[in-house]
Structure 1
């Protein structure tokens, strides 16, 4: 049931964070006013004591509702349905359909959403870490409760080819599963005629893949058949919530000029 007066909503997030983008999209889709506080992840805003008091995991996003923190993007999305479910609902009412949706969300988080971090870090973030000393890098890894092992695997030389190949394989599995959902539901959205949380969850993954030149993973996938994920993406991009979510600086190629140049060079080679 929708709360008649939602009160104050404050979103701590980062423009390029895919998890932040999920929550921004849902808030804008529902027309909920909120104060956006942008954190600079490279300068360690997410690791400062005042932020860790809200989110001990030291990651974004965090939603404050009347001063009370809600953490983890998937949890926040469900929370918004709990408190504002009547405003442009993104969750079905039938319990079986809710269960199907949550299974989709779990798969998205476990497979493509986790995998996209590997090429993202290698392509965009590695130069920042290469500029550090080994001691500085290890101290950074130790300061990140949820990302320590991930960063240690990457190191200051980047993820090796086997790690990249595994991530690309997981992304392909995500694309194939998404194509299957569209075919099964009849579209235009993953669960049929109504836009849902699963669409919002996977949107930033697809946008990131397109941004860093991995869109060929769905354009050439025979499993997609008659369904073109580009049509799904074009529909998402046409929504008012998308334009508000992806303001300038939200894409990696907008934030890091070196990435855009390297992608251009790679495509020309």
Structure 2
């Protein structure tokens, strides 16, 4: 029995949903409402003390961190592997995973959070804003504090864009050698970065790869044609779609 605590628009949740779909695994879905801070409620923090999504419960095992969840699924359900069989190639894919978690995952939070929060902040008076900032978050508290009421400044936005561009450069070089970042077949590295590229596409930054990175453009097109993509990115699973319904806190 697999139960996934996740959020529609969370890129980390999308990553795990992609993995589950690629492996053909059924799961019980438990949506966590980030707008009402369900991820910070005591009952959820008992499962995931970091107060983030997703969290996977498999029978009596509780698995946190999206990358760890994907590797766990690959170990427990070895059919349709997300890692190559060769140990050296597995190391290459795992190194990609570490890089993608460190660089582009952090980078896309800057434009994502600006888009998600600034419309909400505009509707708050000073007292309400200070109350919201007083929320206790187990991790990324400083990140929220750096954002402030007016969002991230130009220097931070530029730095985030530079980091994402450097990711595209690496991806283009890798894709000149193999059809997928993970090698001959789509795998863990592709699953990790696909929600990030889709988020930038959703934020209208597709020109970053469409103008100068043809192999990344082709990779993204092929990835979106896979059945797993539609399964993981169902209607209202993108940030822009969610914001047409209500503001959010991520």
Pairwise same-fold verdict (TM > 0.5): yes
| Equivalent residue number for residue 95 of structure 2 | 103
| Equivalent residue number for residue 3 of structure 1 | none
Task: Give TM-score scaled by structure 1 length.
Answer: 0.87
| Equivalent residue number for residue 223 of structure 2 | 236
| Equivalent residue number for residue 164 of structure 1 | 157
| Pairing 1:44–2:37 present | yes
The runs of 5 or more residues in structure 1 that have no matched partner are: 1-7, 260-269
Q: Distance in 1 between matches of 2:37 and 2:116?
A: 17
Contact between 2:3 and 2:58, CA under 8 Å: does it hold in 1? yes
| Pairing 1:128–2:115 present | no
| Equivalent residue number for residue 178 of structure 1 | 171
**CA RMSD after TM alignment:** 1.5
Q: Tell me which of 246, 251, 263 is aligned to 2:238.
A: 251
**Superposition misfits of 4+ residues, deviation over 6 angstroms:** none
Structure ranking higher on relative contact order (CA contacts 8 Å, 6+ apart): 2
Q: Tell me which of 198, 201, 216 is aligned to 1:207.
A: 198
| Pairing 1:92–2:84 present | yes
Task: Give TM-score scaled by structure 2 length.
Answer: 0.93
Aligned residues: 243
1:117 partner SS: helix
Once the 2 structures are TM-superposed, how far is the Cα of residue 258 of structure 1 from its aligned partner? 8.8
Q: Deviations over 1:148-168 (max 9, x none)?
A: 011000011110111101111
| Equivalent residue number for residue 74 of structure 1 | 67
